[in-house]
């Protein structure tokens, strides 16, 4: 155990990094990675020209974006061959992430050696992906044939143009868009990522967008919404970098929804109904996460899109960028808007509701009081009617 701790300490301090000491590297051949996505991953390598008997050997690996580095003992055969199968007992690898790995060997005479670092990308290899690229976006799909892929490529190109105009941002690197033919096919990825059931997701640090779009009559509308939406998350990340994760969820989703090429008419219906029922959500409750139930989550998306649109129309692109900077600096949900726009979030929500939903609110309030108005009118009319019936004018004779 002490030796393992020493190896880990050397690894994290960088003392034992590949190439740090002359002659410390182990020649490697016959590298191989084999797996079916979602199932165990097998690493193999031949460690050659070891200068003495082996006391201990380990494989060390970590997927990009994961906090934990995995270290496991391995057996080296007489010919230098080693195989190790990782069966996910300690959690699956992060989907679509690069996985970096190397081997550490301790000889019986006390010397410690290691290999260079190698890597592979943990892709979903369950499907025969086709791919096409345009404007810094590579689209991957496996159903619908070439027409489907070209339509997705067109939506990606138009979406990128819209986002660049909205955020004044240039993509930092190419983006991969993976389009699954069904939510069921995509669900396995979400399960491994610890995400809830959804129709799309972006991993900005990996520059990967995932979504489910079935080939068919509705594919164009779905592409115009989902592809720009997920691309917007990645380009917002390009603009803000690590500060992206400090942005409130309502703003991230509001920007992504504004990037969509086709407006969702159900948003308007959800807002109208919630205004009438008095069930609109407080925006400061949508900073850390959206509600778990689908109905309230949909309303959260609708409100986020509408408020973001209102802010852009009132304060312009400069106001939106100022808001991103304020929140990126770590200001809380109420105070971020104070620095950027001069008003707390709750006041901005009230102004937005009054400007965009005020007429509906007035009509809704009038409708709710209408029964009382009718009752009052009846109560007033009864004595007036009686007075009229029994009143007789005086006649002068």
Q: Note the pLDDT of residue 357.
A: 79
pLDDT tens, residue by residue, 133-163: 988 999 999 999 999 999 999 999 999 999 9
Q: Locate the domains of the chain by residue range.
A: 2-121, 127-240, 247-365
The pairing of beta strand 54-63 with beta strand 70-73: antiparallel
- Matching fold, domains 2-121 and 127-240: no
Pairs from 310-319 (Cβ < 8 Å, separation ≥ 24): 310/351, 310/352, 310/355, 310/356, 311/341, 311/348, 311/352, 312/258, 315/341, 317/166, 317/168
The 10s digit of each residue's pLDDT in 331-342 is: 999 999 999 999
Angle at which helices 249-258 and 219-240 pack, to 10 degrees? 130
Per DSSP, 25 falls in state B
What is the per-residue pLDDT across 215-246, written as a single tens digit (0 to 9) for each? 999 999 999 999 999 999 999 999 999 999 99
The pLDDT of residue 26: 93
CA distance 387 to 317: 66
| Residue 197: per-residue pLDDT | 64
CB atoms within 10 A of CB 163: 26
> How much is the pLDDT for 360?
46
pLDDT above 50 (res 61): yes
Instruction: Indicate the average pLDDT of the chain.
Output: 87
pTM, whole model, 2 decimals? 0.83
**How far, in Å, CA of 345 to CA of 343, rounded?**
7
The pLDDT tens digits of the residues spanning 375-391 come to 444 444 545 444 444 44
Range 127-240 has CATH code 3.40.50.720: no
- pLDDT at residue 299, as a whole number: 97
What is the edge-to-edge ordering of all strands in the sheet holding 41-47? 28-34, 41-47, 81-86
Asked if the model's pLDDT at residue 25 lies above 90, the reply is: no
Banded model confidence at residue 85, pLDDT cuts 50, 70, 90 = very high
Predicted confidence band of residue 89 (pLDDT cuts 50, 70, 90):
confident
The pLDDT of residue 14 is above 80:
no
Q: Map tokens 């050997």 to a residue.
A: 57
May I ask the CATH architecture of the domain 2-121? Sandwich (2.60)
From the number of C-beta atoms within 10 Å of its C-beta (0-12, 13-18, 19+), residue 390 rates as exposed
């Amino acid at each position: 155990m002490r030796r393992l701790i020493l190896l880990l300490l050397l690894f994290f301090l960088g003392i034992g990094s590949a190439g740090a000491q002359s002659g410390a590297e182990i020649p490697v051949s016959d590298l191989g990675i084999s797996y079916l996505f979602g199932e165990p991953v097998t690493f193999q390598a031949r460690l050659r020209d070891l200068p003495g008997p082996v006391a201990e050997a380990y494989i060390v690996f970590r997927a990009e974006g994961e906090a934990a580095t995995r270290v496991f003992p391995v057996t080296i055969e007489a010919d230098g061959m080693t195989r190790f199968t990782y069966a996910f007992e300690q959690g699956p690898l992060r989907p679509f992430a690069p996985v970096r790995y190397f081997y550490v060997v301790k000889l019986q005479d006390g010397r410690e050696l290691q290999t260079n670092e190698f890597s592979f990308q943990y892709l979903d290899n369950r499907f025969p992906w086709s791919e096409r690229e345009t404007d810094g976006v590579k689209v991957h799909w496996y159903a619908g044939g070439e027409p489907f892929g070209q339509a997705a490529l067109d939506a990606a190109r138009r979406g990128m143009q819209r986002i660049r105009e909205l955020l004044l941002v240039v993509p930092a690197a190419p983006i991969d868009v993976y389009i699954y033919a069904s939510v069921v096919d995509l669900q396995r990825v979400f399960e491994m990522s610890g995400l809830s059931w959804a129709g799309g997701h972006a991993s900005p640090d990996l520059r990967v967008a995932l979504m489910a779009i079935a080939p068919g009559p509705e594919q164009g509308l779905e592409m115009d919404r989902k592809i720009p939406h997920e691309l917007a998350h990645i380009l917002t990340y390009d603009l803000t970098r690590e500060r992206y994760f400090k942005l409130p969820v309502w703003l991230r989703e509001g920007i992504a929804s504004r990037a969509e090429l086709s407006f969702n008419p159900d948003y308007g219906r959800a807002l109208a109904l919630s205004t009438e029922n008095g069930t609109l959500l407080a925006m400061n409750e949508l900073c850390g996460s959206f509600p778990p139930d689908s109905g309230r989550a949909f309303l959260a998306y609708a409100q986020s899109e509408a408020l973001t649109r209102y802010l852009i129309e009132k304060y312009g692109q400069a106001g939106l960028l100022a808001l991103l900077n304020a929140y990126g600096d770590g200001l809380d949900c109420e105070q971020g808007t104070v620095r950027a726009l001069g008003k707390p979030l709750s006041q901005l929500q009230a102004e937005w509701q009054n400007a965009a939903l005020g007429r509906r609110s007035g009509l809704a309030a009038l409708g709710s009081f209408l029964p009382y108005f009718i009752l009052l009118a009846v109560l007033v009319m009864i004595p007036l009617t009686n007075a009229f019936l029994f009143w007789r004018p005086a006649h002068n004779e």
